[in-house]
Every structure is written in structure tokens, then in C-alpha cells.
Structure 1
Amino acid sequence: MVLYTILAIIVIILIVIGIMFYLRSNKRKIVEEAEERKLKVQRLPFEENLEKLSNLNLKGETRTKYDAFKQDTLDYTNNYLAPVEEKIHDAEIQLDKFQFSGAQSDIDDAHDLMDRYEEGYRAQVEEVDEIVALHKENEEVFEKCKTDYREMKRDVLANRHQFGEAAAPLEKRIESFEPELEQYTTLKEEGNYVQAHNHIMGLNQSINEIKDYMDEIPELIREAQKELPGQFQDLKYGCRDLKVNGYDLDHVKIDGTLQSLKTELNFVEPMISRLELDNANDKLEQINNKLDEMYDLIEHEVKAKNEVEETKEQITDELFKAREMNYTLRTEIDYIRENYFINESDVHSIRQHENEIQNLVAVYDDILKEMAKSAVRYSEVKDNLEYLDDHVKVINEKQETLQNHLIQLREDEADAEDNLLRVQSKKEEVYRRLLASNLPSVPERFIIMKNEIDHEVRATNDQFSERPIHVKQLKDKVSKIVIQMNTFEEEANDVLVNAVYAERLIQYGNRYRKDHNNVDKSLNEAERLFKNNRYKRSIEISEQALESVEPGITKYIEDEVTK
């Protein structure tokens, strides 16, 4: 037994030892991978990267940067690359002792160091490329500046007439660029690439500004010397022609304003000669704005004349219509007042409108006299005509409303008379139907309703003979009589239908009297009620009796009666 136990322990120990050796074998792979990466990292071309700067002028700022990069390379090697070998060696020792976690920690440290070394390389490559690119950009801009300098100098010399008095200041500014170009060359030779960059970019901006000036100056001179004076002349003669054609343009103040603008224009060319182009543009903009204002005033006058010609006849028609309608109302109002009750405010409004129309006609006559003059300010005429048009339209609307109201009075009276005649005719027709029906007698309430309608009709007819008539009160009274008549007709129709229905029920039920004693009694009661004009109660008793012997028959009889 002891022997088996010992053998089992030995087997377990051998298994553990085998596992340990297996794990160590696997861990050695990460050491080998770290070793392979170290060899790759060692081959990173720091020196080749710095050789890019060697092709430049290694002086000044460039030299300082180059030396800093050399020191960075040395620091990266000492601080990050050199300790890697030691970390890998320590990891191997740890593995030999089967200390796997310690070995893993050393390998992780080695990778971290190599990461930093690679990051340092990438950062240095980036900075070197930026410096090389900056040198290249400097040279490209420098060559452009030299070309622009030569072309501008040649352009001013060849086209001096286009720049007028600004040619000399332009030449002076262009000549000032030559020492600036030389200054760039000096900074470049001294290796101060950052200063050289800032200098050449500033110089390029200044050259571009002068190039823009050279494009703009001929346009400004042309506007100041030709375009604006031409517009002044056109405006002056155009206004003269308009005055000949009858326009009053005194409010535009052509002569005084043009003289003021000419004075302002005289300041523009000296500004251009001093290369104060922003001030020159502002001055020209002010002059153009003032010209636009004058053109707007003149255009307003021309449009006003066209509108005056278009609306004059229309306003004449409106005034004529207003006067004619007012005359008609004044002629008819006395007759209307004798026959119809109307508000005194309506009568007063007719007189008021008469005065207003006379005033508007007087204003219109003054406008026509103004238009007959040799010089007319059509904008004022247009405003006055618009005032006239607005007021005469309001008067016409009010007079039309009043005229329609007076016409409506007559129509309402006629409608009331027609309605009263229809009521009288309908009442007699309904009453004749009641008399001709199968009713034992006409119910007393219908006689009362008929008499009430007769009384109201007679009273209303008396009102038609009175003068003046209050049409609204008359309409309201006739409307009430119509409602009475409708009620009379509806109730009469109900009674007639119920009477026929009650009679049909009793007639149909007679067939059951002999065999059904209860039906016979009920029908006797129904007949008694029928003779006393109590048709609804008679119907109820007959329906109950018939439904007890023949369900559904009452609905059939009712449908036959009402269809």
C-alpha cells in the first residue's frame, strides 16, 4: 500500500514537472517575439531621417533643430532601446527559475520601452517632414514673389496711363519689395527658416495687396473720370427733357445736387493717387447712392404720371356715380319717409354725403387745374387722386348700402303681403278639408285657432293701410302668423290622419266582434271615443284589441293609411 502511494506521488511530481517545462517552453516564445521586435526597432532609420535636414543649410534655426534631433535620437537610444536587452535577459533568467509572472512583467516592460522608442521616431519624422515642407513652401512663395515683383514693375512701366497719378506711388511700393526679397535670402542663408517663412508670407500678402490695387485702380479711375461724369450729364439732360414734357422736378434739386456730387468726386482721384482705395471706394459709393436716390425720385414721378393717366378716368366715373346716386336718394327720400319708417340718421347721411361729394368734386377740379399747368408734380397729383379715390369709394359703398336698404323696404312689404295672402288661402283650404273629412264634427280647438288667425290677419291688413309703415315690425308680425298657420295645418293633418286610422281599425275589427266578446267591448268604447273626437285614445284601445287576436295587423293598417 505504501509502495502504491509513493508511486502515485512520484507520478504526480513528474506530471507537475512536465507541465512546468511545457509552460516554460511556451513562455520562451514571447521572449523570442520580443527579441525579434527589438531587432526591427534597432533598424529604425533615425540617421536617414536626419539626412533630410543635411541637404538644407545647417545654420541658425535649422542647425539648432538638427542638433536637438540628434540629441533626441541619443536619448531615445539610451532611455528606451538600451534597457530592452536587459529586460529580455532578465525575463530569460526568470523563466529558467520557472517564475512566469516575473518573466511576463519584464517582457511587458520591454515592449513598453520599444513603443516609446517607436513613438519618438514617428514624432521626429513628422517634425523633420514639416521643416522640409516649410523650406519647400518658402522657396515656392519666394519664386512667386520674384515673378510677381518683375511683372508688376513691368506692368506699371508699360501701362502707366492706366494708373494716372497713382503710378508713382505704385512704383515706389513695388521698389520697396526688392530689399524685402533680399532680406528673405539673408534669413534663408542664415538657416532661420521660421523667420524666413514668416517674412516671405508677409511679403507675399503685401504683393498680393498691390496686385489687387493694380487691378482695381484702372476701374476706379474709369468710374471717376468717365462713368460718373457721364451719368451726371445724362441725368442733367434727362431732367431737362422731362421738364420740357411737363414734369415738376424742383424737389429733386438736380443742379445743386449734381454740383455737390462733382465736388465730392474731385476728392476721389487724390485718394487713388495716395493708394487710399478704401476711402475712394467709400466716397464713390456715397456718390452712387445719392445718384440712386435722385433716379428713384425721378422714376417715381414718371410712374406717378402713368398711374395718374390710368386712374383719372376711373375717379371721374366714381365721382359721377356718387353724385347721380346721391341725387336719386335725395329725390326718393321724401316719398320713402311718407310711406316707410326709416332712421333719421339715414336721412342725415344723404345730406352729409351730398356735401362730401361737392367737396371732392371741388378738389378734383383743383387737381385738373394743377395738371393743366406747364409743370406738374405728378407724385403729389397721384397722392391726391388716391385720397379722392379712397373717399369716393367709401361714399359709394355707404350710398349703395342705403339704396339697397330702401329697395329692401319695398320688397319686404310686398313679401309680407304675399305671405299674408298665402296664409289666408292655406287656412281656408285646411278648414275645408276638416269640414269634408269623416270627422263627426270639427274639433273646437281648430275653430278657435282659425278665428285667432282670422283676427291676426285682419289686424295686420289694417297696418298695411297705415302710413308710414314700420316694415320690420310688420315682417315680424306676419312671420308669427305664418308660424300659427303652420301649427294649424300640422295639427289638422295629424287629426285627419288619426281619424282615418281610427276608423280603419274599427272597420277591420268588426270581423272579430261575433267571436270575441272582449274585442267587441273594446271596439264599442273606441267608437264612443271616436264620436267625441278623441281619436288617439280610440286608436290605442282598437290597437290593443286587434293585436290580441291578430298580432302585427295594426302596423299593416297604419302603413296603408300613411303611405
Structure 2
Amino acid sequence: MIKYIIIVVVILLALLITGLVVRRKHNAEIGRLEKEKMQIQHYPIFEELAKVKALNMNGQTEELFENWRNRWLDVVDVQVTKLDEMLFDAEEYIDRFKFKKATHIEREIEQEITKCEQVRVEIITELDELIGSEEKNRIEMEQLKEYYRSARKTILAHQHSFGPALQQLEKKIEDFTPKFEEFDVLTKDGNYLQAREIVLQLNSEAQNIFSLLSEVPTLLTDIQAKIPTAIHELRNGQREMEEQNYYLRHLELTQYLDNLEKELDTLKTAIAELNLQTVAPRIQEINDEIDNFYDLLEKEVLARNYVDRHCSAMYSTISEVMRLTKEISDEAAYVQHSYRLQDREAEIPRAGLKHLEVLQKRYELLSIRVQEEQSAYSSLQEELREITEEIERIADEQESFSNNLKNLRIDENQARADLEGLKRLLQNTDRMINRANIPGIPSEMDARIEEAEEKIFVVMQSLQEVPLNIVQVNQNLLSAKQCIEEVNDRAQEMIENVMIIERLIQFGNRYRATNGQVHERLLEAEEAFTQFRYVKALEDAAKAVEMIDPSAIKRIGELVQEELLIKS
């Protein structure tokens, strides 16, 4: 029985302690909410609102002031009182350990405090906006009035610069006066926010007028002076060039200039109405078009100079290249008796002559066009350059072909010299094998030597053909060279292997009596050696020596290399 009583007491104490801890947390939360409520209640909002009294307490300002004061009185008198009641209820629930209800009320209190804080922030923000508007309005309006006075002076002092746009510009500037008066009335009546809208509107219009005052004189200068001057110069330049027999109809310059003069009147009307959005980019386009026509006229002058310098000389150039090409064609026919040419190469001179005949006809037509003076010199220049480039290409092609013909004899002599060198190399390889006193030559080596001799024979046969096919000769020569060099390399390797095998067997003989495995390996090496299987013999002898002294293999190889070097 006592045991159960103790358990109950312990449980009760645990519940009591837990309840006290939870109540303490809730009391802390209530303290925090109470503090936030007091901050709202004692916030000096009315001192902030007092700043409005420095303004004209009329109209919109008075309405805003009353609205802010009433909203804050509602917070202090109604919302704060409600918060006090809710805080009292929450404290009672906490004291009676009704924590769930206390939590619910705490959340409602938090929400109400947030609403009060939002009202405070809105009032301060709107207040700052009103006061800031008054200050900004005052400063910016002074700047606008100063700009207004400056703009009027500029127009009065430079009326001629604005031409037909003067009347519209004056009207836009005079439109500022009623706006100034409207601003003063709104400010006097305390409607600062409405007055702010007037200021922003005037700022936008002032920027527009500033842009107009800057752009209109420049655009008018282009339309009334620069472009007409350029039109006059282009007409004079066209007339003078046509008097000098230049063909300029393809430029359609007269029609363009006539249309441009009509368009200038339209652009001038647009400027008078201050519609500059399309005028400025169009004037830039016109200036670019005029510059392009200047370039085209200059191009015709340069083209005529080029045609005058090169056209007459072109006939002798074509004739000279045709003469050289015919000589090369004759030379090719003679060379073909001794050397075989590929069909593509043999066709080069004939194709060149046919192409030159076509170019000659093109040149004749070009000469007629030059004499008739009914074609643009730029077109004639382009045609002349194309003919020149084609002639130069044919001349280079023929020269290259001629050099190839001359090199055929050189290539033949070189091939014969190379053949003699390969013969000597094969003979030296054969003598090297005989002097080596090896037991015998493997059948594979005999086959490779016979193959090399056959390839030399093939080269000799190809050199005896008439006409000589130098391309085939060089191919056969290359094949023979690769084969003979490979035979020489393998022969040197075989001789070196034989010498190493002999040294390894000599080294291993000292251990045959004491090491049966070495003896057996050496027997296998000797048997392979007598059968001319030198690669197998080298492997067996190396394995035998490796059982005794692995480093001996390297030393023997180095000694053999030195010995071969001395012999060479």
C-alpha cells in the first residue's frame, strides 16, 4: 500500500513540476506580449503627426492628418484596451493551468499586435511621403522655373535656328505657365501629393523640350544646308563625269536626288510639328546613302584609271601566255617519246590553250565595250580583273608543268643512282653474313634476300621501259628500298644473336658439370643453334645463364656490341 502511495506522490510531483515549468514559459510569453503592447501604446505618433502642422493645414493635408489621427486613436483607445482584456484572460488561464486556452489567446494577441504595428508603419510611411513631397516639390519647382526662364531666353536669342518649329516650341514652353499656377494653388490648399504629380509631369515635359532644343537646330542644319549642298555637289559631279564619257545610268542617281529633294520638304514639315521620332534616324540614313553615292562615283573614277592602265596591255599578255603554252605543249609531245605522262598531266597544255582562246574572246568583247563607252567602268574593271586572274592562273599552271617536264630527267638519274646504292647495300649485307662464319642461314633469311633481289630486278626492268614511267619507277624503288633495308637490319640482328649465343654457351659450359638443369638447357640451345633456329637458341641459352648469374646476360650483350662496333 505504501508503495502505491509513493508512486502516486511521485507522479503528482512530476505533474506539478511540469505544470510550473510550462506556466513559467507562458508567463514569459505574456511578458513579451505586454512589452510589445506598451511599445505600441506609448509610441510618439502624435509628435510625428505634429510635423504636418508646419505645412498648409488645408485640403488634402488636413484630410490626411485627420485620417491618421483617427486611425491611431482607434488603436490606442480600442485595440490596446482589447489587448489588455486578452492579456488578463490569458494570465487567468495560466494561473489555472489551462495552457491550451492560454496558447490560443496568445496567438490572437500576437495577431492584434501585428495589425497595430501595420497601422503604425502605414501612418509613418504616408506621413514621410507627404512631408518629402513638399520638400521635393519646392526644390524641383525652383529648378523647373529656372529651366523655363533659360529655355525662353534660348528661343528668343536663336529664333532663326528653330525655323518652322519655333511656333510649336514657344507653345510648349508657354504651356508651363498654367502648370506653375496650378501647382501654387494646390500647394496653398495643402494638396501636396497632387502638386507632386504636376512636378513629375513638368519634369517629363522639360526633358522633352531640352531634347527638342538640342535636336531641332541640328536636324534643320542637315535638311536646309548640309544635305542640299551634298545634292548639289552630287549633281555637279554626275554632270562632269558624264561629260567625260562616264556611264552612270546604273546608279540611278538623278532619280534618287529628285526624290530626296521632295522628301526633305516632308521632313521639314515633320520638324515643324516636332515629330522627331522618325526624322533623326531617316536623316542618318540619308547621310549614309549620300556617302555611298560618293563612294560609287569615286569607284567609277578608280575603275576607269585601272581599265586605262591595263586594258591595252592585256592583249600582249594573252598572246605571250599563249605562245609559252604552245611551246610547253610541243615540249610535252617531245618528252612523251621518252617518258610516260599521266593523262591528266598530258592534258594540261591543251586545256590551257582552249581556256586561253575563251579568255581572248572575252577580252575582245571587253575591248568593244570600252570603246563604246556604254558600260560602267566598275563592271569593266571587274571583268578585266577576272580575265587577268585566269591568265595568271593558267600561266602558273603551265610553268609548274614545264618544271615537272624538266625534272623528269633529273628524277630518272636519281632513280638510277638510288638503285646502285641499293645494290651495294644488298651486296654488303651478303658479304657481312659470309664474313660472320655463322653455322648457316635460316630459310626465312634466304627468302627475304631472294625477295630483295627480285625487287631490284623489277626496278631495273622498269628503268628499261620506253617511254619511261617515272612514277612507277619511284614506286618500285621505294618498295625495293624498304625490303633491302629490312634484310640488312635482320642480318645484323642475326649475326649479333649468333655471337651472343656463342658467348652464353661458353659462359655456361663452366657450370654444366655441377648443374644438371643448366646442362639440359644448354643442350637444347646447342641443338637449336645447329638447326639455324637462332632466336630459340638465344632464349634457351639466356635461360641457362640466368640460373647461374642473371647479370651476365647484360654484360655479354654489351661486350658483343663493342666488338661489332670495332669491326664496323
**Equivalence for 1:128:** 127
Contact 2:526 2:537 in 1 (8 A): no
CA offset at residue 464 of structure 1? 4.4
**Equivalence for 2:77:** 78
CA offset at residue 132 of structure 1? 2.0
**Equivalence for 1:275:** 274
1:208-262 deviation digits (Å, cap 9, x = unpaired): 3233322322222222222222223344445566668886544334444333322
**Equivalence for 1:167:** 166
Aligned mates of 1:122, 1:451 — CA distance in 2: 109
The letter for the 2-side match of 1:77 is: V
Contact 1:94 1:103 in 2 (8 A): yes
2:390 matches 1:388: no
CA offset at residue 146 of structure 1? 3.7
Aligned mates of 2:151, 2:494 — CA distance in 1: 117
Contact 1:27 1:100 in 2 (8 A): no
Contact 2:459 2:476 in 1 (8 A): yes
Alignment of 1:382-421 (within 5 A): 382-421=381-420
Aligned mates of 1:342, 1:414 — CA distance in 2: 17
TM-score, length basis structure 1: 0.70
**Equivalence for 2:519:** none
Contact 2:504 2:556 in 1 (8 A): no
Alignment of 1:224-235 (within 5 A): 224-235=223-234
**Equivalence for 1:202:** 201
Alignment of 1:174-213 (within 5 A): 174-213=173-212
**Equivalence for 2:336:** 337
Select the structure of larger CA radius of gyration.
1
Contact 1:41 1:118 in 2 (8 A): yes
Aligned mates of 2:47, 2:526 — CA distance in 1: 135
Runs (5+) with no aligned partner, structure 1:
1-8, 513-522
1:451-497 deviation digits (Å, cap 9, x = unpaired): 99888867865664542223344445555665676677678778877
Contact 2:60 2:190 in 1 (8 A): yes
Aligned mates of 2:406, 2:75 — CA distance in 1: 112
- Let me know the Cα RMSD of the aligned residues: 5.7
Aligned mates of 1:178, 1:226 — CA distance in 2: 35
Contact 2:441 2:532 in 1 (8 A): no
- 2:336 alignment partner, SS class: helix
Contact 2:304 2:378 in 1 (8 A): yes
Q: Are the structure 2 counterparts of residues 377 and 65 from structure 1 closer, same or farther at C-alpha, using a change threshold of 3 Å?
A: same
CA offset at residue 75 of structure 1? 0.8
The letter for the 1-side match of 2:213 is: M
Contact 2:52 2:65 in 1 (8 A): yes
Contact 2:419 2:456 in 1 (8 A): yes
Aligned mates of 2:102, 2:417 — CA distance in 1: 123
Contact 1:271 1:280 in 2 (8 A): yes
Q: Are the structure 2 counterparts of residues 135 and 476 from structure 1 closer, same or farther at C-alpha, using a change threshold of 3 Å?
A: closer
Q: Are the structure 2 counterparts of residues 89 and 237 from structure 1 closer, same or farther at C-alpha, using a change threshold of 3 Å?
A: same
Aligned mates of 2:117, 2:422 — CA distance in 1: 115
**Equivalence for 1:45:** 44
The letter for the 1-side match of 2:470 is: V
Q: Are the structure 2 counterparts of residues 320 and 562 from structure 1 closer, same or farther at C-alpha, using a change threshold of 3 Å?
A: farther
Aligned mates of 2:29, 2:425 — CA distance in 1: 121
Contact 1:50 1:66 in 2 (8 A): yes
Contact 2:348 2:401 in 1 (8 A): no
Q: Are the structure 2 counterparts of residues 431 and 122 from structure 1 closer, same or farther at C-alpha, using a change threshold of 3 Å?
A: closer
1:351-400 deviation digits (Å, cap 9, x = unpaired): 12012124335545665786789898442244224422442354345435
Aligned mates of 1:529, 1:112 — CA distance in 2: 107
- 2:337 alignment partner, SS class: helix
Aligned mates of 1:173, 1:511 — CA distance in 2: 125
Question: What is the count of residue pairs matched by the alignment?
Answer: 529
Contact 2:37 2:113 in 1 (8 A): yes
The letter for the 2-side match of 1:197 is: R
CA offset at residue 199 of structure 1? 3.5
1:128-186 deviation digits (Å, cap 9, x = unpaired): 12122223333444444444444433433343222223222333333333233333334
Q: Are the structure 2 counterparts of residues 90 and 396 from structure 1 closer, same or farther at C-alpha, using a change threshold of 3 Å?
A: same
Contact 2:445 2:487 in 1 (8 A): yes
Q: Are the structure 2 counterparts of residues 445 and 144 from structure 1 closer, same or farther at C-alpha, using a change threshold of 3 Å?
A: closer
CA offset at residue 103 of structure 1? 9.3
The letter for the 2-side match of 1:226 is: A
**Equivalence for 2:326:** 327
- 1:174 alignment partner, SS class: helix
**Equivalence for 1:65:** 64
TM-score, length basis structure 2: 0.69
Identity of aligned residues (%): 24
**Equivalence for 1:348:** 347
Aligned mates of 1:230, 1:393 — CA distance in 2: 45
The letter for the 2-side match of 1:266 is: D
Q: Are the structure 2 counterparts of residues 55 and 370 from structure 1 closer, same or farther at C-alpha, using a change threshold of 3 Å?
A: same
- 2:340 alignment partner, SS class: coil
Aligned mates of 2:297, 2:242 — CA distance in 1: 11
Contact 2:422 2:484 in 1 (8 A): yes
Aligned mates of 2:352, 2:134 — CA distance in 1: 92
The letter for the 2-side match of 1:355 is: K
Aligned mates of 2:249, 2:200 — CA distance in 1: 57
